[in-house]
């Protein structure tokens, strides 16, 4: 453990990321893992992460090491024999072993859908990732950086909503709803159809209050770089037919999966770069909040678009506020250093601000309905 956590691997490249205003040093000898970091935090500003030049004495360094599975198991066995065993919450309600020693803590890493095991050594100012040479192993570095950036954003007072988003005329429109409501389909479809549009992201958005004195002037929306997850039903509704020729990093769901169903659990996952490349939309990492859409995508439903009532808006948004109950991130097991702490904006204050913006409730069930929604949306926001 001491040797692994002591220095940088031979032949490694070093890069510096700025997470908001906090420098983060990244060290890896894996071109695949390094490339995935670049692809994930693209364009610059996703989750407040940008590339920066050399930063002296960063508060945290993340080192990515590859080892054989037997060596990783030996490391975990050593930790189990020499440290105090406990548990930690990798993601919400998913707990794994941890080993607390005098100078370091060793965490067992294992994706919930895989038998492959990795380890993470946490020492002062340093995170050392020890994982196998594999496609899943390459993803751990990006996952750790995203976790660090999320912890910093939440500590500094982000209001986190279960939401997709698109931009029109440089304003961000949140698409908020329960799982299966059609957030991703609605957001990416409008990003493709509207004349001055772009796509922001999928699943969660971070909002920061913009204030002048005691008055709220608005909210800045920042995208979290989670993949766009769509099934074939969503592509059908958007009129996309050429997906068979795409060469996507994550690959297509297997033939026996249910990804061809409109509400299938297995989905095609696209990075923001792949969204731009294959769906032909620009990607925008942040923008000022301009409005909200509360969607329902249902193949059996008719088309509708109307202003949402304040009561319905409050019900949907409170149910999908991750600042109140985050379905992904539990405890801060990485003990991420933060320079300042602030509470998120009160949800009631956010709802009050929405009364000044267009908040629309829609239902679509076909490609023709999506086209109607694009026209109806433009009419509604102009009004």
Kindly report, residue by residue over 290-326, the tens digit of the pLDDT. 999 999 988 788 899 999 999 999 999 999 999 888 8
Give the CA angle between residues 172, 352, 191 to the nearest 5°: 15
Q: Sort 87 into a burial class: Cβ within 10 Å, 0-12 / 13-18 / 19+.
A: exposed
pLDDT of 43 above 80:
yes
For residues 327-346, average pLDDT: 91
pLDDT of 213 above 80:
no
Local confidence band at 217 (pLDDT 50, 70, 90 cut-offs): confident
pLDDT of 367 above 90:
no
CA dist 281 and 293 (Å) reads 19
**Packing angle, helices 135-155 and 31-40, rounded to 10:** 40
The predicted pLDDT at position 42 comes to: 96
pLDDT of 343 above 80:
yes
Sign of the CA dihedral with 229 first, then 234, 238, and 243 last: positive
- The secondary structure of 163-205 as a DSSP string is EEEEEETTEEEEEE-STTS-HHHHHHHHHHHSTTEEEEESSEE
Alpha-helix residue ranges (DSSP H) falling in the chain: 31-40, 69-82, 135-155, 183-193, 232-238, 272-279, 310-319, 347-354, 367-382
pLDDT of 216 above 80:
no
pLDDT of 53 above 90:
no
The predicted pLDDT at position 303 comes to: 93
pLDDT of 218 above 90:
yes
The answer to whether the beta carbons of residues 336 and 152 sit under 8 Å apart is yes
270-288 pLDDT tens trace: 999 999 999 999 999 999 9
Name every residue whose Cβ is closer than 8 Å to that of residue 371 and which is 6 or more positions away in sequence: 193
For residues 252-277, average pLDDT: 90
CA dist 83 and 364 (Å) reads 56
132-171 pLDDT tens trace: 999 999 999 999 999 999 999 999 999 999 999 999 999 9
The answer to whether the beta carbons of residues 36 and 272 sit under 8 Å apart is no
The predicted pLDDT at position 212 comes to: 74
Q: Which helix (H) or strand (E) segment is 288 a member of?
A: strand 286-294
CA dist 35 and 95 (Å) reads 29
pLDDT of 211 above 90:
no
Name every residue whose Cβ is closer than 8 Å to that of residue 213 and which is 6 or more positions away in sequence: none
């Amino acid at each position: 453990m001491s040797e692994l956590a002591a220095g940088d691997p031979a032949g490694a490249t070093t890069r510096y990321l700025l997470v908001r205003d906090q420098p983060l040093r990244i060290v890896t000898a894996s071109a695949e893992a390094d490339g995935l970091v670049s692809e994930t935090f693209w364009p610059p500003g996703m989750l407040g992460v940008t590339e920066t030049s050399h930063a002296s004495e960063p508060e945290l360094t993340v080192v990515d090491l590859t080892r054989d599975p037997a060596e990783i198991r030996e490391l975990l066995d050593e930790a189990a024999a020499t440290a105090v065993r406990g548990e930690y919450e990798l993601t919400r309600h998913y707990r794994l072993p941890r080993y607390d020693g005098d100078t370091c803590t060793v965490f067992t890493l294992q994706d919930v859908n895989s038998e492959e095991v990795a380890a993470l050594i946490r020492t002062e100012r340093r995170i050392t990732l020890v994982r196998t040479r594999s496609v899943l192993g390459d993803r751990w570095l990006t996952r750790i950086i995203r976790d660090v950036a999320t912890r910093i954003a939440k500590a500094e007072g982000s209001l986190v909503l279960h939401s997709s988003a698109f931009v029109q005329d440089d304003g961000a429109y949140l698409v908020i709803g329960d799982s299966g409501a059609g957030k991703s389909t609605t957001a990416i479809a409008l990003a493709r159809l509207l004349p001055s549009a772009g796509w922001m992201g999928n699943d969660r958005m971070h909002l920061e209050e913009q204030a002048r004195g005691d008055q709220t002037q608005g909210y800045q929306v920042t995208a979290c770089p989670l993949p766009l997850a769509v099934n074939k039903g969503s592509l059908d509704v958007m009129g996309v037919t050429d997906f068979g020729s795409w060469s996507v990093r994550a690959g297509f769901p297997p033939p026996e999966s249910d990804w061809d169903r409109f509400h299938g659990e297995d989905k095609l996952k696209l990075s923001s770069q792949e969204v731009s490349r294959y769906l032909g939309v620009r990607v925008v990492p942040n923008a000022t909040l301009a409005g909200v859409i509360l969607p329902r995508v249902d193949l059996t439903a008719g088309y509708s678009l109307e202003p949402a009532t304040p009561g319905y808006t409050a019900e949907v948004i409170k149910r999908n506020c991750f600042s109140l109950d985050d379905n992904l991130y539990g405890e801060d097991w990485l003990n991420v250093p933060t320079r300042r702490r602030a509470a998120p904006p009160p949800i009631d204050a956010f709802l009050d601000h929405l009364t000044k913006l267009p908040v629309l409730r829609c239902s679509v069930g076909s490609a023709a309905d999506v086209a109607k929604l694009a026209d109806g949306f433009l009419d509604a926001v102009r009004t």
